[in-house]
Amino acid sequence: MSTAFDFDIIVVGAGHAGIEACLASARLGLKTAIITTNLSRIGYMSCNPSIGGLAKGHMVREIDILGGEMGLAADATCIQYKRLNSGKGPAVRGTRVQNDKDKYSAYMQNLFSKQENLSVISGEAKKLILNNHRCEGVVLHDGSLVRAKAVVITTGTFMNAVMHFGLKQISGGRVGDSATVGISDQLLQYGFNV
């Protein structure tokens, strides 16, 4: 059976990982789609909007060297820079910035709007389209199909996610966002940890 693909690559989730994945793909000339549940939360930062530190700072620099956007966006939307452990030896020093989380998200949304080869789709990927153990697209919450040669899943902390408020537990990916359920069940069936 021949399959008509809509895209070369689909990226599910427009958090930090999804942003870098879809931009890298589009900039390589591949027809790319990014699917995310909430367009106003593209690149949304967590409760303490900071980028860098000893471990993550290292990763941000690696992303930077590979042509990624996180470091550039962190600089462009920075509120405060701090050199951590400046009183200690060079091995434990690191830069950490505090960012304006709304500006950071707006920076990424603006990049998306200008990026060639990139389509932004608002929706929740509910199911993976599997063909002979290959993933060839996703089914969205409204039942529509989006097909691609490969699918990159960057759904962050949303898979079967639970939020803890003291002793109370409720389903949710993050305050204001629901958890992802459909895809996680399929991945579990294929032996992945979720």
Ligand X SMILES: Cc1cc2nc3c(=O)[nH]c(=O)nc-3n(C[C@H](O)[C@H](O)[C@H](O)COP(=O)(O)OP(=O)(O)OC[C@H]3O[C@@H](n4cnc5c(N)ncnc54)[C@H](O)[C@@H]3O)c2cc1C
Among 8, 39, 54, 56, binds ligand X (CB under 6 A): 56
- Six token digits for residue 168: 């109370």
68: Cα separation from own chain's centroid: 13
In the complex, minimum distance from the CB of residue 16 to ligand X, in angstroms, rounded to a whole number: 4
Helix (H, G, I), strand (E, B) or coil at 106: helix
In the complex, minimum distance from the CB of residue 68 to ligand X, in angstroms, rounded to a whole number: 12
Q: What is the Cα–Cα distance from 165 to 17, expressed in whole angstroms?
A: 27
* DSSP assigned state of 170: E
Query: Segment near ligand X (CB under 6 A), from 47-55, 79-87, 101-109, 111-119?
Result: 47-55
Does 127 sit near ligand X (CB under 6 A)? no
Question: Tokens 């305050």 belong to which residue?
Answer: 175
Binding mask 67-106 for ligand X (x = CB under 6 A): ----------------------------------------
Does 36 sit near ligand X (CB under 6 A)? yes
In the complex, minimum distance from the CB of residue 105 to ligand X, in angstroms, rounded to a whole number: 10
Q: What is the Cα–Cα distance from 58 to 30, expressed in whole angstroms?
A: 28
What residues numbered 159-178 form the site for ligand X, per CB under 6 A? 173, 177
Residues at the site binding ligand X, with contacts judged by CB under 6 A = 12-18, 35-38, 41, 46-48, 50-51, 56, 124-125, 154-158, 173, 177, 180, 183
